[in-house]
Structure 1
Amino acid sequence: MGSLLAKQAWRLLHNKTSLFYKVFKARFFPNITILEATNSRMGSYAWKSILIGRDIIQRGSRWRVGNGEKINIWQHRWLPIKHPPHQPICPIKDFEHSLVSSLIDPFTRQWQTELVDGLFVEEDAEIIKRISLSQVATEDALFWPFTSNGIYSYKSGYRFLKEEAEQPKTNQPPPLRDKQLWKNIWSMRVAQKIKNFVWRACRNALPIKKELVRRTIIADPICDRCRTAIEDPLHALWSCSEVDIVWADQSLWDFRWSTDFENIKMLVSWLIEEGKQLELFAYTAWSVWNQRNQVRVRALATVPHQIPSVSRTLLHEFHSRTLTSDSHFHRRTHYLQQRWVPPPANFVKINFDVRSS
């Protein structure tokens, strides 16, 4: 039944000349699209049923980037990758309602590479920059990826719902402890891409070999560095013997040899609870990950024993820039908040402007 209802929702999305579309739009979503429409007590049984079909379309369809004005960066599925998630993971504060159009230069019709590199982790940034953009601004298009022509069909919808029902339920609300962990991660005084990286590592969302094997992308889960253990996030970033030199500073990471962790999430939680150097850990782990990726593609990579000093430098530079920016902001805010006060008795106050001749 759901696949049949989704067909009607698809018609309301794409067949805008039909009487069916005109009647339902005028009655239920006159000033918005069906994707933004909500249920109401006045809605008919037919309308409520179509909304069920609409939700199926939203879960399965993808966006093809045109001008980017309809696509929310964080909420819509628009990354051209085979396996979910098909959108960047987790909205960054102050950017959670941004559209893809904000990433595109309107004059050159090219991605704003510096902005993309700054907002996203390296893997997502590279995927985004590989998306081809038309030289002429066109509308974004919603397509159904389970058919060859991108048009929804009953049969493909049924297959999608069947596969969806067979997948393990992973969208359960996180426990309160997890919510506090995420809050601490996103409150770190580090670059946004570093926060995103740590968050993804804790969620097992990095393209690590163990995860790639699970997705049947590769067959060998063994770490390429030490060739002795399965590569999961904890091993790749922390416990691999080949990164011992990175975490050799006993004054900072002495617990590495005395405390065991089941996964990277437990490690980050422990750092937060013990008040350890979480921000330095984040930059160091990010540098280890980058070095690992550069070595895999035979690119010029940082030598492992240099990673600690490079990480400290990156953290110090970020804090310096942040302090300078905050200082300018507070001075400007103080200036704007100054209020006009009347002059004392027997005095006249005159406001004037100086213009150069």
Structure 2
Amino acid sequence: MGFRDMKLFNQAMLGRQSWRILTVPNSLCAKVLKGRYFPHGDFWNAKQPRNSSYTWRGLMFGRELLKKGVIWRVGNGKKIQLIKDRWIQGLGVLKPVINLQVDTTVSYLIDEAKGTWNENLVKECFNPSDAEQILQLPLLHNHCEDFPSWPYTKEGIYSVRSAYNLAKMEGFHKFLSVNGKGESSDMTKIKRV
């Protein structure tokens, strides 16, 4: 298969299981884990208690890789945290120009009555270039929930190979940085498989 770094391969495999829990929350496995580790929240923001099982620690290790690659797609905007989650391709985490609560969701920027972005509010909260990118994002008219997308595959679905490549590239960039040979850290340039 061409996987050489077993730790990164293991993380990519565990990331696949984390992806399944994130995208199929009604599966039996996800329900059991929710009851034990995040009964009042969601998998994306779940904590890792000190007494957690080996399985849960593994899933958290896989989720670390997911968090580096996932882009959230906007549905109703109620799950995506405005300044913590990545939801605009190529921008990473947004930095507003005004103070916003950490737990503010993207729905804050949506005019629910019209089903469009609240253009004035978006322009008030972000610098012009970020605001323009937000306003270019299409909103779904059926008010579906927000959902994760994996931008390193054509279908937007997590694959072990693409996650492994993401982890390898990140390690390579860290190596270059430590050795004073800095390079672009634009993770969006990873080849899609």
| Identity score, percent | 35
Q: 1:147 to 1:30 in 2, by over 3 A?
A: same
Partner of residue 37, structure 2: 28
Partner of residue 122, structure 2: 116
Give the number of equivalent residue pairs: 172
Q: Whose helix fraction is larger, Structure 1's or Structure 2's?
A: 1
Partner of residue 47, structure 2: 38
Q: Secondary structure at the match of 1:102?
A: helix
Partner of residue 133, structure 2: 127
Q: After superposition, where does 1:25-104 map in structure 2 within 5 Å?
A: 25-81=34-90, 85-89=91-95, 92-104=98-110
The separation in 1 between residues aligned to 2:37 and 2:86, in whole angstroms, is: 25
- 1:166 correspondence with 2:175: no
Q: Amino acid of the residue matched to residue 88 of structure 1?
A: L
Once the two structures are superposed, residues 121-178 of structure 1 have per-residue CA deviations (whole angstroms, 9 ceiling, x without a partner) of 1100110111111222111111111111111111111011011111248x9xxxxxxx
Q: Give the TM-score normalised by the residue count of structure 1.
A: 0.45
8 Å CA contact 1:109, 1:133 repeated in 2: yes
Q: After superposition, where does 1:1-357 map in structure 2 within 5 Å?
A: 1-81=10-90, 85-89=91-95, 92-168=98-174
Q: 1:28 to 1:133 in 2, by over 3 A?
A: same
The separation in 2 between residues aligned to 1:93 and 1:15, in whole angstroms, is: 34
Once the two structures are superposed, residues 42-78 of structure 1 have per-residue CA deviations (whole angstroms, 9 ceiling, x without a partner) of 2111111111111111111000011111111111111
Q: Secondary structure at the match of 1:167?
A: helix
Partner of residue 6, structure 2: none
Report the aligned-residue RMSD.
Answer: 2.5
The separation in 1 between residues aligned to 2:12 and 2:174, in whole angstroms, is: 21
Q: 1:61 to 1:53 in 2, by over 3 A?
A: same
Structure 1 unaligned residues grouped into runs of 5+:
172-212, 216-357
Q: Secondary structure at the match of 2:29?
A: helix
Runs of 4+ residues over 6 Å off in structure 1: none
Structure number with greater CO (CA < 8 Å, separation at least 6) is 2
The separation in 1 between residues aligned to 2:125 and 2:85, in whole angstroms, is: 17
Who wins on radius of gyration, i.e. which is larger?
A: 1
